[in-house]
Chain A
Amino acid sequence: MASNKKYWKSVEELKDSSIVETLSKNESVGEITTDQFLGDKETLENSSTSRRDFLKYVGFTTAAASLAACEGPVRKSIPYVVKPNDIIAGVADWYATSMADGYDFANVLVKTREGRPIQIMPNKEANGTTSARVQASILSLYDEKLRLKEPTKSGEPITWSSADKDIALQLEGFKSQNKPVVLLTGSMASPSTEQIISEFLNVFPNTKHVVYDAVSESGAADAMLAMYGKRELPNYHLEKAKTIVSFGADFLSDFHGGFEKSYVNGRKPETGEMSYHVQFESNMSLTGANADKRVVLKPSDQVFALLNLYNAITGSNVASKSTPADAEVKKLAKELRENGSSSVVMTGLNDKNAQLIAFAINEALQSNVFDVLNTLQIRQGNDAEVAKLISDMKSGNIAGLLTHNVDPIYSSSKSADFIEGIEKVELSVALSSENSATVNASMFVLPTPHFLESWGDTQFDSITYGLMQPTIQPLFNTRQLQDTLLKWSGNSTSYYDYLKAFATNNVLDGGSWNTALHNGYFVRTISDKNIFNNSVSLSAVAANLYNVTQKASGFELNLYTKTSLGDGKQANNPWLQEFPDPITRTSWDNYLTMSIADAKELGFSNPVKDNGAINGDYAKISVNGKEAVVPVMIQPGQAKGSVGLALGFGKTFGLKEEMQVGVNAYSFYADSNNIQYGVTIEKVEGYHEFACTQVQKTIAGRHDILKVASLKEYKTVDPKDHHHGWNKPAYVSYDHQEVEANTIDLWDEHNRELGHHFNLSIDLTSCTGCGACVVACHAENNVPVVGKREVRVGRDMHWLRIDRYYSSTVETREDAKELGLSRGETYEALETEAENPEVTFQPMMCQHCNHAPCETVCPVAATTHGRQGQNQMTYNRCVGTRYCANNCPYRVRRFNWFEYANNNQFDFNMNNQYGKMVLNPDVVVRGRGVMEKCSMCIQMTQATILEAKKEGRPVNTDEFETACSSACTTGSLVFGDVNNKEDKVTTLTKDKRAYNVLDYLQTKPNVIYQVKIKNTNEA
């Protein structure tokens, strides 16, 4: 129905439509009437733009233009548009996974924040341990410089599909012509990968799998094969040992992957029992430093001593020589026999015969400690096969070479042969996560992900099965070896599905895949039985060993791995480069360690320069025709006639310039033998600049800083006994009475019972000095790396350091008096390290003094005391007078001498966008000019408190952790709340071993130390 209603918008429209019409016509102006003001030339000329106006315009336009040219800093932080289900911003997620990089294997927990892994901790549930290298491997994930980013063919980027096609075509060709192809990998210890490889070998029967370990323990594996029929490493359960005898086996660091946890478990003084550990060695190793008795013996003598011990234990009479340690060996043989099954003998020589002798001694002792049932799987390298491969390659007999994460060009003593050989192979494919000389020499480069981006599994020993899961989306265009091999074998399943099926069917015994993945490990049962295969003729073995060793002449070179770089895989990792060696406390270098006596004879010295830095003379060493110029570091406790040199340094290809430090010792690593005889040393011109973090080597008679007692004293002597006490407190005079220093007080005490009060206990007995805590602290607290130049002049930023003290030629002033030394001689004697010193380690960080000397002297109150016992540092408030650092008796405060982040002068991880991904968002990156120091990980304790609060419960017993205490696998560092009577640390503060460093100053620290107990009285 039509309507004649009239619609109107305004009263005007309703009443008088003319005005609306006029307006609507003018709604938009047709043309811009430029004519009006430009067309009329006359007006234009007459228009008066005064000088003032002109200046105004100029001023305005210039300002506007320059403002427009300014660009605000662009921050590439993009908020989640759609929030992922399992990520809450600000809340960390932890994933259990396994590390396996061919040399370091560990059950770990990975902390991720907003999808970025930022820290690695040991998976203690799985008995996992982490070393400094495992801790630092998180930074290698973000190695922008070295990580491979896309597949390439002869340097040109290609797609995965065309790479697959090209390579498959060639592989098929080799197969049809039956040309040999070799897959060269490191030890992977991955059962599923082994299966994939064997399937791949089935598809390509012309292919062989060779395992190559840069640092080889082939000798032990071959010995195991000979004696027990399986090519694996024996396990040592040191917690069961009463007597441990080691001939150069550095089992607290890298020997068989390390046994620090079981070692320390067998050395708990509170149980009244400690193993007695004797170390025969030439280099000063971490293990030797921890030994109850360290016998200095050069490598050849170690062999003879081992043979002597063999004779003494088994009653046989194989040829040997007398050594300076004969008396010791005799004494030990008696003790070993007495302790029988609770004793063990190890040798670190990578020599099948030496290992067989050690095995035979253990068999003769019926050692429980020595385990060939539950064996270690983590070193599978086979020196003989590798040697054969390289010679085959050289003679042109290898058609295809597939390498996976190995770099023989860097790490093989036959590097030149390998280079020659790789040029002769028709197809060389490098599957690698990082760039290397070998990668560079290969035709095809197929990037593989870092272990934190990968799926996988690891068989550590016979019972521990670890699972690996990605903790971040792959950063680059990478594909795992397993996926690649599956694809090339014609199997279309993804490795994830394959792994899941493999684990579920073969490993988990019907257990849940998800549970195992969540836990990161699964404990298997051992199926195989111990078969003692005695067909080895030990007399022949011994004779062989004797014959080889007795030819030893000249200097004996003992190649070893350093705690920091290990086999050198992570040489581009600034945290590890800056990590001071536990023994020499030198960072950014390797060096020839030389005994004091030899150095004196050959004229080498380590002068301390006026800026506190240490220099070293250069030595030209030649080993079997190979030469190198190496700086000399004089090492107390080095066997005369022997020298040491660390592997893993001197890597240059692809590394940042700052990281290209040290000398490549692999060139001397002939036959992967860590002992090389017939070395000549010659002093050459010039000196090397070391970056040492500690100059004074002894404690200079100040024994109340680091207290050591023997087990016997611990058990029988009153610690506070005035004469013989081993943990005497400081006494002061008060009202003409001698009282304990910590009983009197200048100030009124706060009530410390309220809320939490944190304490950290450091057990010097169980601290091996491994330094995992140092790197953990680095990662947790965004501690900057400052580079070699700065470390050299004493500006390292470590919040937590491990002081190392050697015993001096005379230990106390009383001793010096008895010897009749003059005052000057006493000083010198106390300051000079002994030729074969005892070594003690002392982790040192902010002591969080309740009466902190730093707090009173800050003019702006930037450092103050927290209610929970922490000494807090307010970076924002700090003006940088450094008075606090001067007044800190522990010297643990670190000053930002320069801007360390976003500064090309300090081109480390805080200067590129990938490296910055490792930064902990809970901890601020400090700017230039402020003081910083250990905060007792206040961000972690606060998070714990908040979590408990959110869940409406009190904080659980032993729930508080710091980065160092969680990283410590030997349980030396224990953190907790002393207001919780149940917390472990509460009992520890009252232990009779507990003391404070420099207690005479009455700073009342919240960090307590437990006296180091050594088992030196027995034997």
Chain B
Amino acid sequence: MSHYEAPIREPLVLGDKSYHDITEDIAKPIEGKANKNWYMAFYISLAAMLWGFGCIFYTVGTGIGVWGLNKNIGWAWDITNFVWWVGIGHAGTLISAVLLLFRQKWRMAINRSAEAMTIFAVFQAGLFPIIHMGRPWNAYWVLPLPNQFGSLWVNFNSPLLWDVFAISTYLSVSLVFWWTGLLPDFAMIRDRAVKPFQKKIYALLSFGWSGRAKDWQRFEEVSLVLAGLATPLVLSVHTIVSMDFATSINPGWHSTIFPPYFVAGAIFSGFAMVQTLLGIMRKVTNMEEYITRLHVEYMNIVIILTGGIVAVAYATEFFIAWYTGSPYENYTYLSVGAATGPYWWAFWSLLIFNIFIPQLLWFKKIRRSFIWSFIISIAINIGMWFERFDIIAIVLSKGHLPSTWWRFEPTFVDVGIFIGTIGFFFVLFLLYARTFPVIAQAEVKTILKSSGEFYKKRRAQGIPSKPAIVVAKSVSKEANSDKNKEE
């Protein structure tokens, strides 16, 4: 089961863990009682969510006019939020699918939550295309359903229709992938559950997992197949989302580099969101020994890479806007016009949060610091929101005809719905953290002996592996865990 790993590599599981320790650690939040902090966070999120739902009902009942949109700016916060949430969703699939194919073992500690985040983020994203419609009750018209309206069919030319397919495919594949990974873990909870009701629920959720070798074999096969299926989705979803803009004719939107640029940006923002969430979660659920400094560093490296791609894309956009010499390109979201125009603050927010601040990650000290990673991840989340806002609002605010130049100001409903989705997201995530195994324990167990700190040390000292249970608590373990708690 275990593979060889060079001793100089940092361990992925800290401390002196036995298989049972892992089980206990992961099952604890589910089996134990929630603390006050959890309740507080949950109620705040719930309140935000309900407020957002209220704003949505108000919008649907009264009209899109309750938002700050106008004749020249037909989208603003709605599609900004949509793209932002979809982008956030990208890390999950990348971690679980692409890293699986590349056999990156460090993904095992974070893939479960990253995928949960993906799914919850896609829920939020999916809300916006529906509620931004003038007549959301007819939203099902965007589906190619056989109908009796006189053989009306959808318009396959429209990127919005591609979105429908892309997002729904992404959501369903992610959900299946996530669930497949959850099966052995649900079964573990099921087997430990004492209360009959809990047992029944987890029995249902685990789809009758028995733990036989055949189960494991199929599990591995399905995971691999799903990873293969999901990998192109990492590229396709945001490619298609970017085409909402790239296929249009607005200067600033009509740009051929959008697909790779958007995909990189999505992974960038997705990893930032994973950093944010795990930064909190590893503390709250005591997963410090599973989500380690090394994990954080690895993720930061992905952030530097994708952030670099994004930075190059920005530079290209800026250069091309100037290089065309076309007066119509004077005011794209990355141009002198934007930097000095009424949205200068949004322009500079984008650059500062997305380009300048992430450069700090080049320093190893910062890259390996939990707190710095958390702060930078928040900055990137903000920056990536501004990226989408800039692309949408700045571009639409300066259209082709100067007579149509206008500005956008959000109303309380715009803000309320956005806050509502954040609330909704956290409601889902908090519920998840209390009911789902937040770390893929079955998978982590597979690397315990190769990448676990204790075993690595033993190997380095030339001591053959022994069952962990037998090993008495050593000084080194205590020292290690102390060291880990410093942050």
A residues bordering B, Cβ < 8 Å? 608-612, 694-696, 698-702, 705, 790, 793-796, 801, 803-805, 813, 823-824, 827, 842, 844, 853, 856-861, 877-883, 885-887, 889-891, 893-899, 928-931, 997-998, 1001, 1003
Q: Flag whether B179 is at the interface (Cβ < 8 A).
A: no
Q: Which residues of chain B are within 8 angstroms of A857 by Cβ–Cβ distance?
A: 157-160, 247-248
Knowing A794-B71, A877-B141 are in contact, say whether A859-B134 is a contact too (CB < 8 A): no
Partner of A824, one of B70, B153, B157, B336: B336
Known A611-B68, A827-B336, A898-B63; contact A886-B248, beta-carbon cutoff 8 A? yes
Partner of A929, one of B63, B153, B247: B63
Contact A891 B154 (CB under 8 A): no
A997 to B401, CA, bound (A): 9
Separation of A885 and B406 alpha carbons in the complex (Å): 14
Q: A827-B337, A827-B340 are in contact. Are A695 and B160 (CB under 8 A)?
A: no
Knowing A860-B141, A879-B138, A898-B62 touch, does A891 contact B408 (C-beta < 8 A)?
A: no
Query: Do residues A929 and B133 form an inter-chain contact, with CB atoms below 8 A?
Result: yes
Q: Are B74 and A895 in contact (CB-based, < 8 A)? A: yes
Q: A498 vs B405: C-alpha distance in the bound complex, in angstroms?
A: 58
Q: Mark B150-182, 1 if CB is under 8 A from A, else 0.
A: 001111011111001000000000000000000
7 closest A-B pairs (Cβ-Cβ)?
A880-B134, A929-B134, A897-B65, A794-B70, A882-B74, A611-B409, A803-B403
Which A residues are CB-close (under 8 A) to B70?
611-612, 793-795
Q: Is the CB of A928 within 8 A of B63?
A: yes
In angstroms, how far is the closest chain A Cβ from the Cβ of B161?
4
Interface positions of B from 44 to 94, Cβ below 8 Å from A: 62-65, 68-75
Given contacts A824-B340, A928-B134, contact A889 B409 (CB under 8 A): no
B328 to chain A minimum Cβ distance, whole angstroms, is 7
Q: Provided the pairs A700-B327, A897-B63 are in contact, do residues A886 and B142 lie with their beta carbons within 8 angstroms?
A: no
Q: Is B399 an interface residue (CB 8 A)?
A: yes
| Chain B residues engaging chain A, CB cutoff 8 angstroms | 62-65, 68-75, 129, 132-136, 138-139, 141-142, 152-155, 157-161, 164, 244, 247-250, 327-328, 330, 336-337, 340, 342, 396, 399-409
Nearest opposing residue in chain B for A798, CB measure: B71
Residues of B within 8 A of A608 (CB): 342, 407
Residues of A within 8 Å of B68, CB to CB, are: 611, 793
- Cβ–Cβ contact B330 & A897, under 8 A: no
With contacts A795-B65, A887-B250, A929-B64 known, is A860 near B407, CB below 8 A?
no
Q: Once the chains are docked, how many angstroms separate the CA of A610 from the CA of B154?
A: 37
CB of A694 within 8 A of CB of B65, answer: no
Q: A804-B403, A930-B135 are in contact. List 14 more A-B contacts (CB 8 A).
A: A608-B342, A608-B407, A612-B72, A612-B407, A701-B327, A794-B406, A856-B157, A857-B159, A859-B161, A877-B141, A886-B250, A893-B71, A928-B134, A929-B133
The answer to whether A705 and B250 touch across the interface, beta carbons within 8 angstroms, is no
* A863 to B, closest residue via Cβ: B155
Q: How far is the CA of A891 from the CA of B73 in the complex (A)?
A: 9
Pick from A886, A895, A998 the residue with the most CB of B within 10 Å. Answer: A886
A702: contacting residue among B155, B249, B402, CB under 8 A:
B402
Q: What is the bound-complex CA distance between A879 and B161, given in angstroms?
A: 13
Closest chain B residue, CB of each to CB of A930: B134
30 A-B pairs, CB-CB below 8 angstroms? A611-B68, A700-B402, A705-B400, A795-B65, A795-B71, A801-B403, A827-B337, A827-B340, A844-B401, A844-B403, A856-B247, A857-B158, A857-B160, A857-B248, A858-B160, A859-B154, A861-B153, A877-B141, A879-B134, A880-B135, A881-B134, A882-B132, A886-B248, A886-B396, A889-B401, A890-B404, A891-B71, A895-B134, A897-B69, A930-B134
CB distance from B59 to the nearest CB of A (A): 10
A997 to B152 Cα, complex, angstroms: 33
Taking each of B141, B164, B400, which has the highest tally of chain A beta carbons within 10 Å of its own beta carbon? B400
**B134's contact among A698, A856, A858, A931, by CB below 8 Å, is which?**
A931
CA distance A796 to B65 in the complex (A): 12
Known: A885-B71, A894-B71. A879 touches B135 (CB 8 A): yes
**CB contact between A879 and one of B65, B139, B336 (< 8 Å): that residue:** B139
Check if A612 sits within 8 Å of B406, measured CB to CB: yes
CB distance from A861 to the nearest CB of B (A): 4
The closest CB in chain B to the CB of A793 belongs to B70
Chain B interface, DSSP helix/strand/loop, else mixed:
loop
- B153: chain A residues within 8 A (beta carbon): 861
Which residue of A813, A824, A929, A931 contacts B327 across the interface (Cβ within 8 Å)? Answer: A813
Query: Would you call B158 and A858 a contact (CB within 8 A)?
Result: yes
Inside 8 A of A997's CB, which chain B residues have their CB?
401
CB closest residue in chain A, given B152? A877
Distance of B83 from chain A, by nearest CB (Å): 14
CA distance A485 to B153 in the complex (A): 67
CB-based contact B405/A696 at 8 Å: yes
- In the complex, A1003 Cα to B70 Cα: how many Å? 24
Q: Are A827 and B74 in contact (CB under 8 A)?
A: no
Residues of A near B63 (CB, < 8 A) are 896-899, 928-929
**Which of B64, B399, B403 contacts A895, CB < 8 Å?**
B64
- Please report the C-alpha to C-alpha distance between residue A805 and residue B244 in the assembled complex, in whole angstroms: 32
Give the shortest distance, in Å, between A704 (CB) and chain B (any CB): 9
Q: How far is the CA of A891 from the CA of B402 in the complex (A)?
A: 10
Inter-chain CA distance A608–B154, complex, in Å, is 41
The answer to whether A805 touches B403 (Cβ under 8 A) is: yes
Q: Which of A795, A803, A860, A891 contacts B142, CB < 8 Å?
A: A860
A930 CA / B404 CA spacing, docked (Å): 20
Query: How far is A882 from B62 in the complex, measured between Cα atoms in Å?
Result: 17
Chain B residues lying within 8 Å of A698, measured Cβ to Cβ, are 402
Task: Determine whether the beta carbon of B160 is less than 8 Å from that of A883.
Answer: yes
Shortest distance in angstroms between B332's beta carbon and chain A's nearest beta carbon? Answer: 13
Q: Which among B63, B132, B248, B340 has the highest number of chain A CB atoms within 10 Å?
A: B63
A877 to B72, CA, bound (A): 22
A971 vs chain B, min Cβ distance (A): 24
Q: Check if A887 sits within 8 Å of B248, measured CB to CB.
A: yes
Nearest A residue to B161, CB-CB: A859
Whole-angstrom distance between the Cβ of A435 and the nearest chain B Cβ: 32
What residues of chain A lie closer than 8 Å to B399, measured between beta carbons?
889, 891
Given contacts A702-B328, A889-B249, A928-B63, contact A881 B133 (CB under 8 A): yes
Alpha-carbon distance between A801 and B403 when the two chains are bound, in angstroms: 10
Residues on the A chain within 8 Å of B64, using CB: 880, 882, 895, 897, 929
Which of these, B141, B327, B401, contacts A891 with CB under 8 Å? B401
Residues of A within 8 A of B248 (CB): 853, 857, 883, 886-887
- Nearest CB in chain A: distance from B346 CB, A: 11
Q: Contacts A794-B70, A861-B152, A898-B65 given: A696-B330 contact, CB under 8 Å?
A: no
Min C-beta distance of B400 to chain A, whole Å: 4
Query: For residue A896, which residues in chain B have a CB less than 8 angstroms away from its CB?
Result: 63, 134
Enumerate chain B residues within 8 angstroms of A860, measured Cβ to Cβ: 141-142, 152, 154-155
Contacts of A881 in B (CB 8 A): 129, 132-134, 160
User: Which A residue sits closest to B163, measured CB to CB?
Assistant: A859
A823 to B129, alpha carbons, bound, how many Å?
Answer: 39
Q: A609 — which chain B residues lie within 8 A by C-beta?
A: 407, 409
Q: How far is the CA of A458 from the CA of B134 in the complex (A)?
A: 50
Q: In the bound complex, what is the Cα–Cα distance between A856 and B160 (angstroms)? A: 10
By a CB distance below 8 angstroms, the chain B residues around A853 are 248-249
